[in-house]
Amino acid sequence: MGKHSIGYKLQELDSKGKRITKDKEGTGEVFIYALFPPDPGSTAEKNRQKKKILLKREDGSPKPMKEFKYYDSGNLKTDSSIAKSIREAVDSLAKEMGFSSEVHTMDSMTGEQKEKRRVSYAFRIFIEHYRTTPTKRTLKPRNPKSVTEIETAFMHYISIFGDHYIDDFPQHVAKDFQLKMAMIPTRPGASKKLAPRSIRKHGIALHQFFDHLSERGWISGRPVKFDLPSVRETPTPRKWKPGSQDKVTQRIVGLLEEAKSKPGKKNRRMSEADIVQNHLRSWMVNAHIGLRLSEIWSLRIENIDQKTGHVLIPAVIDMEGGLDNNKQPFKVVCHSKSGRDERSAIPEACMDFLKQDLEERDQKEGWFLARPDGSCAYKTPEALGKVFERHQKAVGIFGEAKRSHGARVTIGTEMGKQNIYFAQQQLRHKDVSTTLASYVAETPDEVREALNKVSEGFQKPKDFESRNTEKVM
């Protein structure tokens, strides 16, 4: 209701004036607490708690709720009349305490006023402000992906806690957030739930919203801060075992050879060979270069630089994608992780494949994964991810590593053996700590081999034994 709002709440108390717990409801008497702004600098203000004062009779004793239900004549009041009597009593107490009673309790507001006190209304105002203001650190426009992440986080929040009033946060919301978020699937219908890192990311995004509410006076006192999973609780990176990726490559190549020998079917926009060829293209740039699904999906032929041997990932791709399977137009939108143009090197083995593929197509521009009519072959990155999943399941390696990120972990691990900074550059991480924490798997055999080389320089017990024997003789 705002920083200076006044309201009331009903509370059941026992004969000693203590609050009745839920399991004992109905055994006490209902009384009314008037709610006032907390004293400046008090603990209640820091915790966004109202100052509660029990409504009393003229003789100073607590006035139960039932005394507001009847007229002096003994007739029962209507619900609206009961609410009016309570508000008048709260307003009278407010004036005695020096508060303005201009803002009444929620039930006295119009429908439009109530809607403006909902957290969804506040979020709409916040997200518009967030979208149209630059970042404090760089004073540059915000990455649209950051806006989308906050919107997604709020969507999850609403699905859990509902569209409550901004001065009426659910009890224990700070503790319950991560527990309830852990039950949300990664996508509709999926059995896999949100990972701790995703929950943490959503929580931090929402903290920006709640901080904004507190700074602008929408809520009083300390903004909501969720209990979030520890940043140390990161899943161990899983890379592909030697030969696993080759199994998929071998399978796709075999399917492509079969498809090329089959006659094409009439009235189909893509032949089977065209479809499998796109599978091979996407798998090669993932396995050899470590491109993310969205980057492969949105890759343009003109962004493959054969002269320098690099792939360009533009800061923004926002283009018409052509027609989908239902011949409906769609867009391809992809933003780089950093918000600026990025580059990844292409190894020789992959470059040989790409050169041959591009020569056969004889195209200078267009979608890397394309239909014969020029449309992007997939409507979403997830559709491409399903392709990887099917092939991995077919050769029995699904789950050994993440279906697309497993390639990035494998590249990061193998390059990290030579130089961790090479791995950081290829994976395009801003900080090398990201590469070390999430993209480099443990390599116990290599560690032991390196330790053996160090150990070779130390003298062994038998060396000393031979010298001691000589001294005795």
pLDDT for 289 beyond 90: yes
pLDDT band at 449; cut points 50, 70, 90 = confident
> What's the pLDDT score for residue 450?
67
Which amino acid makes up residue 275? I
Task: Tell me the CA distances in angstroms from 379 to 91, 269, 456, one per residue in order.
Answer: 59, 15, 57
pLDDT for 457 beyond 80: no
pLDDT band at 187; cut points 50, 70, 90 = confident
Listed in order, strand segments (DSSP E) in 201-296 are none
Task: Please compute the mean of the pLDDT values over residues 86-114 and round it to a whole number.
Answer: 66
pLDDT for 408 beyond 90: yes
CA 408 from chain centre, in angstroms, equals 20
- CA dist., res. 321 & res. 374, Å (int): 9
User: Tokens in use for 119?
Assistant: 């957290």
pLDDT for 443 beyond 80: no
pLDDT for 8 beyond 90: no
What average pLDDT does the chain have?
A: 85
The model's pLDDT over 248-261, given as tens digits with 9 standing for 90+, comes to 999 999 999 999 98
pLDDT band at 460; cut points 50, 70, 90 = low
- CA dist., res. 229 & res. 366, Å (int): 43
Instruction: Identify the bridge partners of residue 305 per DSSP, sorted by sequence position.
Output: 310
pLDDT for 103 beyond 50: no
Its pTM surpasses 0.75: no
pLDDT for 109 beyond 60: no
- CA dist., res. 409 & res. 392, Å (int): 16
Task: Please compute the mean of the pLDDT values over residues 182-204 and round it to a whole number.
Answer: 88
Task: Please compute the mean of the pLDDT values over residues 390-419 and round it to a whole number.
Answer: 92
DSSP 185: B
Percent of the chain with pLDDT over 70: 85
Is-contact 176 170, C-beta < 8 A? Answer: yes
> What's the pLDDT score for residue 350?
92
Q: Report the DSSP pairing between strands 7-13 and 29-36.
A: antiparallel
Task: Please compute the mean of the pLDDT values over residues 376-401 and round it to a whole number.
Answer: 95
> What's the pLDDT score for residue 465?
62
> What's the pLDDT score for residue 101?
47
Q: Where are the alpha helices (DSSP H) in 68-118?
A: 79-96, 111-115
pLDDT band at 3; cut points 50, 70, 90 = very low
User: Tokens in use for 453?
Assistant: 């080389």
Q: What are phi and psi of 161, to 5 degrees?
A: -105, -5
> What's the pLDDT score for residue 347?
92
> What's the pLDDT score for residue 111?
61
pLDDT for 133 beyond 50: yes
pLDDT for 2 beyond 60: no
pLDDT band at 280; cut points 50, 70, 90 = very high
360 vs 223, higher pLDDT? 360
pLDDT band at 105; cut points 50, 70, 90 = very low
Which amino acid makes up residue 166? I
> What's the pLDDT score for residue 107?
47
Listed in order, strand segments (DSSP E) in 26-108 are 29-36, 51-54
Task: Please compute the mean of the pLDDT values over residues 76-97 and round it to a whole number.
Answer: 84
- CA dist., res. 68 & res. 45, Å (int): 30
220 vs 274, higher pLDDT? 274
- CA dist., res. 300 & res. 313, Å (int): 9
